[in-house]
Structure 1
């Protein structure tokens, strides 16, 4: 495997954990039996038989020195160049604008880029000097992290909704609202028409209150997106909490209602794209989505109903930091330019400005409540069920050198996010499999041994990926026998194809029967086999870039563990 894969490991880890969080363990429990799925009794017999054919050793525990200092977001963020410039400035006097992806991407998602290019050709001047704008495509939650950490502060910021601006303001960073709306959009719940009609018949109307009631009653299988990363997810969270108790969205009543509701949510995705992919499986009755995405999805126009909720997603525009007067004038000039009928008509063609009459029924939310709402979600989203996770790391010869170093760096940073109520195990594999760390509660002692296990990894030999997965499944089944309420998860970090040990066909029935989601990550590799593993139980497989692996791992672990 080439040197380029060296970085894969890092990505592997990052995404691995990351994905775990967002994909949701319970989703797999809804799948029916396939042709290769076997009974629980036969699965136990087969697991023991396959496990017995694998060369497994248990490494001597080695304690490492742990770092108790919290992770600084700025230290884990990748260089800003990781996030592309979608429109380049054309003059020396310009402002850089962080923009959310639904308007700074390509095609139907490229509206702001097209307007910015027109602005840069318009010969607009400020103080007699020609001016222009630079647009950087970056998700609203990530943009917020750059601004709050101070690692990179743009001149202006246009997130999907005002909630992110309020969070930046709450952090103490300097931010000023220039325009409440560049273009109109809303977020909503997309529901299958048959299920929508069923709920209308029972509840009389469909809104977030009746939706959450239906979910709590286990009448509706709905998914939503991560409120730490997704604008729609954050909006959904605070709207739901306010629905549970309009007078105190963080009070005991709201918390109890949230726990009841969350217990029946089968799927949480990290991004809208992941949510759309999951929706295509047909397993969800409803899911959250922005209206602009909904109207551009041909497969959703018939058979689904869109119900708006929460604050509007009108792409507000903020000046950020200590912006000089000249730059403030450029930002205002751009906001005025965008308002022209020509460009609002263009926005409409791309799916924006479609529900202009919708107004939120919710009062303005105090900025101080937003971080607290996110914290509440992290603490309560799994109820009283801790996670039992086994990390399965490829230490074959192709990982030698930089790939393994990056793997270690990622895990050592990411382990700071692992919750103390969860249990962690660690397995590494090459020609054979080594149990570097048996599953145990992630207390200070386990953390020290996890760090020691990571530091002791060495690369050599072939790649027995499926043997490593079997060992992880056996560890998790033994843990479930002792603690039946845990949520099992496997993370596979690998940079190449299997060339030793068992094949996917050998263990597919086991993966299906135990319904343990297996998340896999590869870096610029042929990971078709890994994708096949993840698809069995609706988990995710990602080909990731190592430049931002540490940040991604931190996000995933922060939410999931």
Structure 2
């Protein structure tokens, strides 16, 4: 019974911090009202799987397994919106984060300034000039630049950490200015929790929040440090709090592991944190001040700046054209003029001007190491056990099955070797293509061979296969206790054989296992079914019809695997 409580409690808490992408919003978990008890769910699961009678096949060891690179798992840069497109004879492209590259007030400051700049009639060497702006997070830009997938003319991350990481990755970059729009990152607490915290711990600091979280006095959540500047900032602040003399010491890492044992899973975006706070799932979270100021539903929260400042430095790269460099400097100066800065303040920037950045004593290479430390230890001492359930019915022929194979082969590089992985395929029958095993090099080769050898044909018994995958997870958890159990379902969603979704919902709810669904070229009704399956235990549903599916899966696995 203890295991059931853990799955329905701790996992429900952590997995509530993911995003449901099939319809763009999280769904409340009303289905849990009909859930069986854990023990009853296991009993019924065993009965159902016995009737389904899955067959185990022999996986092929893929000795020619290709080692996918980060570049292989990057979508075309066009999947990130070009929110402003310049038309000057000399045009430079800027990669900028969402807090000021949005499409509407108050998150469009850089776009608004860019439009005014483009309309101002500036010329260089007799040629008209302009800027284009691409909306892309600080972390995603770093990934694209360092992998060779994209090179903007200017990179404006939220803080200097990303510029330091860029240079440490071997990219030649020059900082044109330390700041174009002032901002801070910090910790938000609901007022009730804040008042209780103050009485026991005093001023709000990262160190204090960690102590309160470890003591069980609050639940603290942060964003993915691979993509989020705020998440990366707070991660380093946490490591610094654990050991101020050496944030990457064994002691700091050990304390991070212990903290992560009971911490929520990192969220993809700040918006997911806001939704989780609204549901009462978390008490404290990280956020940029400009976002906090412009979010009315957070008026009952108290903001305290922490970590390094988010002043949006500007980086340029090895220019071969002096005219383009002059345009870049012109635009930086335009951003810094009084009119532009007044526009920034109107939108919530340039506040807390007296706040001084925390000094972590870390270099760019240290920040990169901190990401790796987090990736390895984000689940604490709890290993992850995951089963991939793949649809091989006739409707998956053509582009769908090709996309499914590519999704798994390109992104399995992000699955940690300490994880335990299995593979199931199904049409009207269910097959265990790869029993669960630790994802070492040999298991990876078997996984690659099994994925490449998937054969199509037949009807679609999606929910039979879900039950088989869950049975594998439950059985494996007996040998590997206190693990994170996860199921990934890759399908076009068109179930037409075997058990129906409504029949297995009480079992899924009772087991508390998160079901991540990835749908390929789905109809609207199929999207609804997969989204409903994921929402039972508040996991993620991804629409693989979108162009950036590889980015979605890369970030999903970075956070969870």
Normalising to structure 1: TM-score of the pair? 0.90
Q: Specify whether residues 33 and 499 from structure 1 end up closer, same or farther in structure 2 by C-alpha distance, changes over 3 A only.
A: closer
Q: Runs of 5+ in structure 2 lacking a partner?
A: 1-9, 18-28
Among 415, 419, 433, the alignment partner of 2:416 is 419
User: 2:262: which partner in 1?
Assistant: 264
User: 2:479: which partner in 1?
Assistant: 482
- Say whether 1:522 aligns with 2:509: no
Deviations 1:287-309 (A, max 9, x none): 1111122122221112x111211
- Tell me whether 528-537 or 319-328 shows the greater mean CA deviation: 319-328
Kindly report which structure 2 residues correspond to 1:224-263, keeping only aligned pairs within 5 A, or say none. 224-263=222-261
Q: Specify whether residues 439 and 515 from structure 1 end up closer, same or farther in structure 2 by C-alpha distance, changes over 3 A only.
A: same
Kindly report which structure 2 residues correspond to 1:294-313, keeping only aligned pairs within 5 A, or say none. 294-302=292-300, 304-313=301-310
- Hey, what's the Cα distance between the residues in 1 that align with 2:32 and 2:135? 42
- Say whether 1:223 aligns with 2:221: yes
SS of the aligned residue for 2:212 comes to helix
- Say whether 1:403 aligns with 2:400: yes
Contact 2:13 2:281 in 1 (8 A): no
Kindly report which structure 2 residues correspond to 1:70-109, keeping only aligned pairs within 5 A, or say none. 71-107=68-104, 108-109=106-107
- Hey, what's the Cα distance between the residues in 1 that align with 2:199 and 2:318? 51
User: 1:118: which partner in 2?
Assistant: 116
Kindly report which structure 2 residues correspond to 1:49-448, keeping only aligned pairs within 5 A, or say none. 49-67=47-65, 69=67, 71-107=68-104, 108-302=106-300, 304-363=301-360, 365-448=362-445
The Cα of 1:235 is off from its aligned counterpart by 0.4
Q: Runs of 5+ in structure 1 lacking a partner?
A: 1-22
The Cα of 1:380 is off from its aligned counterpart by 1.9
- Hey, what's the Cα distance between the residues in 2 that align with 1:29 and 1:94? 43
SS of the aligned residue for 2:49 comes to helix
Q: Specify whether residues 37 and 375 from structure 1 end up closer, same or farther in structure 2 by C-alpha distance, changes over 3 A only.
A: same
Kindly report which structure 2 residues correspond to 1:445-460, keeping only aligned pairs within 5 A, or say none. 445-460=442-457
- Which structure has the higher relative contact order (CA within 8 Å, separation 6+)? 1
User: 1:27: which partner in 2?
Assistant: 14
Contact 1:222 1:267 in 2 (8 A): no
The Cα of 1:387 is off from its aligned counterpart by 0.8
- Hey, what's the Cα distance between the residues in 1 that align with 2:302 and 2:137? 26
- Tell me whether 324-333 or 252-261 shows the greater mean CA deviation: 252-261
User: 1:18: which partner in 2?
Assistant: none
- Hey, what's the Cα distance between the residues in 2 that align with 1:390 and 1:204? 45
Contact 2:464 2:498 in 1 (8 A): yes
SS of the aligned residue for 1:53 comes to helix
User: 1:14: which partner in 2?
Assistant: none
Q: Specify whether residues 361 and 212 from structure 1 end up closer, same or farther in structure 2 by C-alpha distance, changes over 3 A only.
A: same
- Tell me whether 344-353 or 234-243 shows the greater mean CA deviation: 344-353
User: 2:499: which partner in 1?
Assistant: 502
SS of the aligned residue for 1:212 comes to helix
- Hey, what's the Cα distance between the residues in 2 that align with 1:403 and 1:446? 25
User: 1:5: which partner in 2?
Assistant: none
- Hey, what's the Cα distance between the residues in 1 that align with 2:316 and 2:38? 59
- Tell me whether 349-358 or 177-186 shows the greater mean CA deviation: 349-358
Number of positions where the alignment pairs a residue of Structure 1 with one of Structure 2: 537
Deviations 1:141-192 (A, max 9, x none): 1111222223321111111111111111111211111121111211112111
Deviations 1:447-505 (A, max 9, x none): 22212211121222222222111111111111112221321100111222322222222
Contact 1:397 1:461 in 2 (8 A): yes
Contact 2:12 2:538 in 1 (8 A): no
- Tell me whether 465-474 or 363-372 shows the greater mean CA deviation: 363-372
- Hey, what's the Cα distance between the residues in 2 that align with 1:206 and 1:488? 34
- Say whether 1:472 aligns with 2:469: yes
The Cα of 1:400 is off from its aligned counterpart by 0.3
Q: Specify whether residues 29 and 46 from structure 1 end up closer, same or farther in structure 2 by C-alpha distance, changes over 3 A only.
A: farther
Deviations 1:495-547 (A, max 9, x none): 22322222222122222221111111224532112111222212121224453
Deviations 1:7-49 (A, max 9, x none): xxxxxxxxxxxxxxxx977525999994312223212221122
SS of the aligned residue for 1:319 comes to strand
Among 454, 458, 461, the alignment partner of 2:458 is 461
Alpha-carbon RMSD across the aligned residues, in angstroms, is 2.3
Contact 1:24 1:268 in 2 (8 A): no
The Cα of 1:323 is off from its aligned counterpart by 4.8
- Tell me whether 381-390 or 349-358 shows the greater mean CA deviation: 349-358
Contact 1:213 1:261 in 2 (8 A): no
- Tell me whether 333-342 or 414-423 shows the greater mean CA deviation: 414-423
Contact 2:493 2:530 in 1 (8 A): no
- Hey, what's the Cα distance between the residues in 2 that align with 1:306 and 1:172? 36
Contact 2:65 2:445 in 1 (8 A): no
Normalising to structure 2: TM-score of the pair? 0.90
- Hey, what's the Cα distance between the residues in 2 that align with 1:32 and 1:462? 30
